[in-house]
Amino acid sequence: MIILGLDPSLSCTGWGVVRVEGSRISHVANGQVKTDPKAPIAARLSHLVTALDAVLAEHRPDRAAAEEIFLNKNPQSTLKLAQARGAVLAACGGAGLDVREHAARLVKKAVVGTGGADKQQVQAMLKILLPGTAVTGPDAADALAVAIADAHLGGR
């Protein structure tokens, strides 16, 4: 089974692909899709979809997993996150993928063992779970964590 983990954001969406064989999880690929903050929102969302379409075509995952949306104190930030998340889900839907959603605390608990883990703890655990993996950045690390958590959580 190949799982695509996603960490949606308008500025930088992280993605990570893992292969699951029984209880063994191995790294396939990871990356980040950055958008131009000066570009119109429609162009930024289109760029996200196009870039993710390429990832989907190259890695052909069996399913995808994304972090559930959280509310920011700033309504504009929440709206931008929701729009980016919509573009990410649309790309997956266009590829016919089932997308499972997991709360950030649940992802951290599945990967690190505690829902209150910080980014450094998650990244340190990724080095243990996926030894030798070159992670392209923090958003890609978060996406890999989502994919790993989805593998552990299964249908939850």
Of these residues, 21, 67, 98, 150, which one is catalytic? 67
**Is there a binding annotation on residue 62?**
no
Query: Among this protein's residues, is 68 annotated catalytic?
Result: no
Query: Among this protein's residues, is 62 annotated catalytic?
Result: no
**Is there a binding annotation on residue 7?**
yes
Q: In whole angstroms, how large is the CA radius of gyration of the chain?
A: 15
Cα-based angle 72, 74, 4 (whole degrees, multiple of 5):
40
CA–CA separation, 6 vs 146, rounded Å?
Answer: 7
**Is there a binding annotation on residue 98?**
no
Query: Among this protein's residues, is 67 annotated catalytic?
Result: yes
Of these residues, 7, 21, 98, 142, which one is catalytic? 7
CA–CA separation, 95 vs 82, rounded Å?
Answer: 20
Of these residues, 101, 139, 142, 150, which one is catalytic? 139
Name 30's Cβ contacts closer than 8 Å, sequence gap at least 6.
Answer: 14, 15, 16, 17, 133, 135, 136, 140, 141, 143, 144
Catalytic residues, by residue number, are 7, 67, 139
Q: Which residues are annotated as a binding site?
A: 7, 67, 139
Q: Which residues are annotated as a binding site for Mg(2+)?
A: 7, 67, 139
